[in-house]
Amino acid sequence: MFVLINLKAYDVDPTAIADAVAATAASVDARVALAPQTAALASASATGAETWAQHVSGEGAGSYTGSANAAAAAAAGAVGTILNHSERRLTLDELERAIDAADAAGLETVACANTPAQVAAATALGPDMVAVEPPELIGSGVPVSRADPDIVEHAVEAAAAIDPDVPVLCGAGISEGEDIAAAADLGAAGVLLASGVAKADDPAAALDQLLGPLA
């Protein structure tokens, strides 16, 4: 089970959450990572926590002011990147170029999609993983595995029809340990979440509660 915690642009202490991720990951039967803001990649990685970028661009080195360079993210300690999140949408061409840039930099990729059809299209571009996340459920506290379990099962089927070696993550509304278990029951290989940890009064306690069933 892969648990990827996206800190988005929330007003949080990324290093403190990274410390909690590193400590918790050592005691659970799961792969746990966080995706902080670009400026915090190095400090988060230095804690020993598996650290991902929230986005990278398809452009390489050059005159690309404001782009998120994949090689720079890797140099700062990232081992992977989220792509095409609902809050950072890409065209299929942009997504393909971003996947290629990430691959060249040695970064793993999770390509996000809203629907099973989009999951299939993203899978065809060759990411390491895909994630299905209906945007209306993001930040809602209502997990997609409960609100619309069919979309998870259909996403798993859609990805498998293109490439059975590409795992599917379940995103949107994940906030409790039972949500992770439900996602696994539907065929998901992991979860992508954010506010359940990042917006909690005590992120470390929320992380313990979330991952407790995986200990």
Q: Is 59 a catalytic residue?
A: no
Residue 46 φ then ψ, to 5°? -65, -20
3-state SS string over the chain? Answer: CEEEEECCCCCCCHHHHHHHHHHHHCCCCCEEEEECCHHHHHHHHHCCCEEEECCCCCCCCCCCCCCCCHHHHHHCCCCEEEECCCCCCCCHHHHHHHHHHHHHCCCEEEEEECCHHHHHHHHCCCCCEEEECCHHHCCCCCCHHHHCHHHHHHHHHHHHHHCCCCCEEEECCCCCHHHHHHHHHCCCCEEEECHHHHCCCCHHHHHHHHHHHHC
Q: Choose, from 50, 55, 96, 133, the residue flagged as catalytic.
A: 133
Strand-pair partners of 113: 132
Q: Is 133 a catalytic residue?
A: yes
> pLDDT tens, position by position, for the chain (215 residues)?
999 999 999 999 999 999 999 998 888 888 999 999 999 999 999 999 999 999 999 998 899 999 999 999 999 999 999 999 999 999 999 999 999 999 999 999 999 999 999 999 999 999 999 999 876 655 555 555 666 678 888 999 999 999 999 999 987 667 677 778 888 888 999 999 898 898 888 988 988 888 877 76
**Domain map (residue ranges) of the chain:** 2-214
Q: Choose, from 85, 96, 153, 154, the residue flagged as catalytic.
A: 85
Instruction: Please check whether the domain covering 2-214 is classified as CATH 3.20.20.70.
Output: yes
In contact, 116 and 155? CB cutoff 8 Å: yes
